[in-house]
Amino acid sequence: MLETLTARDAVELAIVERSGFVESRHAGAAIVLSPEGEVIAQHGNAEALILPRSSLKPLQAVASLTAGAVLDGEQLALGTASHTGTDRHVEVVREMLTAAGLTEDDLACPPAWPSDAATRREMIRDHAGEARIRMNCSGKHALMLRACVATGWPTAGYLEPAHPLQVHIREVVERLTGERIAHTAVDGCGAPVHAITLAGLARGIHRIGSASERSPFALHRVAGALVRAVRENPWTIAGPGEPDTIATETLGVFSKGGAEGVMVMVAPDATTVALKMLDGSGRAAAVVAATLLARAGAVSEADVAELTAALPLDILGGGQPVGAVRPAPGI
């Protein structure tokens, strides 16, 4: 059976301090690429396989766009998002579907409650229930459906690995990462998620994050447009109080976290970080990624300090902060 990095492959990336006592440690692997795509820092085994989970969404989105989907602005940004299901997010996703003659019933992601607490409380008061369009991946699914409609592929079964869209996505992922997919699993939303190395994920995200909208190549043009759409609409990528949205607003980066402790982050100069927390916890992922960008000189220490203050990193005791989640000193 294939597997991700082991404890022997990992290094300490973050610590959890409570009242002057280091209570927990987050180990994992991380890799930093220069604006030119060269490896400038590596912590742990970046050649280990990972399932990128939602950090694969930018690659999936670029594939859907090169398959023929045409979107811009908020709709384009929602196509690569893990949104919190607010009414604002849902409105844009519904617009994405309606413009192609589709409805929420065409989505194959499972029904879910929004992760945004205020929205969930309001829905409960209104006696509303779970909905596919509230699921955090509904924007990705809407973009996939738009690609099917644009190309003339069937919308039914669009998540099946043998569907033409998924075959195309697989090809684009291999092209962007520069490696063959080692294994295909089923993501939480039902879409295929492909096992690649952490280094391969970094390469793919760097190629997207460094792409120019003025490129003669369509793949680079749509990738550049995708990154710009997210940076111009940071609320779309996640939601209020969420690390990806906060990092995009604070640092001007392109940030995309994934389940099980995966994170990718691209600075404005295209310096790129990809990391995987071995224990699957994502609570330290954004601050570790931002710190690695600062170590590389791609963002300022002052801006990272502002980001750190805005992220939910406090450790509470009796309702008051008594410590914090911090990047490990050695990274």
Q: Which domains does the chain have, with CATH numbers?
A: 7-68+162-327 (3.40.710)
Decide: 238 and 83 in contact? Cβ < 8 Å.
yes
- Comparing C-alpha atoms, which of 151, 134, 170, 157 is closest to residue 62? 170
**Token pair of 155 as six digits:** 């919308």
Measure the CA–CA gap between 183 and 161, rounded to whole angstroms.
12
Nearest to 278 by CA among 252, 260, 297: 260
Q: Which amino acid is at 286?
A: A
Tell me how many degrees the CA angle 248-253-256 measures, rounded to the nearest 5. 75
Taking only the tens of pLDDT, the chain with its 331 residues reads 899 999 999 999 999 999 999 999 999 999 999 999 999 999 999 999 999 999 999 999 999 999 999 999 999 999 999 999 999 999 999 999 999 999 999 999 999 999 999 999 999 999 999 999 999 999 999 999 999 999 999 999 999 999 999 999 999 999 999 999 999 999 999 999 999 999 999 999 999 999 999 999 999 999 999 999 999 999 999 999 999 999 999 999 999 999 999 999 999 999 999 999 999 999 999 999 999 999 999 999 999 999 999 999 999 999 999 999 999 998 9
Kindly give, in sequence order, each residue whose CB lies less than 8 Å from that of residue 314, ignoring residues fewer than 6 positions away: 321, 323, 324
CA distances from 101 to 60, 146, 158 (A): 22, 9, 16
Nearest to 70 by CA among 141, 134, 151, 135: 151
pLDDT at 58: 98
Pairwise CA distance, residues 26 & 279, whole Å: 7
pLDDT for 42 equals: 98
Q: Which residues contact 61 (CB under 8 A, 6 or more apart)?
A: 79, 80, 140, 143, 226
Tokens 């690695």 -> residue:
292
E strand map for 180-261:
183-186, 192-197, 254-258
What does DSSP say about strands 254-258 and 183-186: parallel, antiparallel, or unpaired? unpaired
Q: What is the pLDDT of residue 330?
A: 87
Angle at 261 between CA 124 and CA 204, to 5 degrees: 110
Amino acid code (one letter) for 32: V
Q: Contact at 8 Å (CB) between 236 and 83?
A: yes
**Secondary-structure breakdown of the chain: helix, strand, coil percentages, each rounded to the nearest 5:** 40, 20, 35
- Match 């190629």 to its residue by tokens: 207
Q: What is d(CA 75, CA 229) in angstroms, rounded to the nearest whole number?
A: 9
Helices 243-251 & 301-310 angle (0-180, nearest 10): 150
Q: Which two tokens stand for residue 318?
A: 């009796």
Which residues, listed in sequence order, are joined to residue 12 by a DSSP beta bridge?
27
| Centroid of chain to Cα 259 | 9
- Give the pTM: 0.97
Cα–Cα distance measured from residue 229 to residue 56, given in angstroms and rounded to the nearest whole number: 17
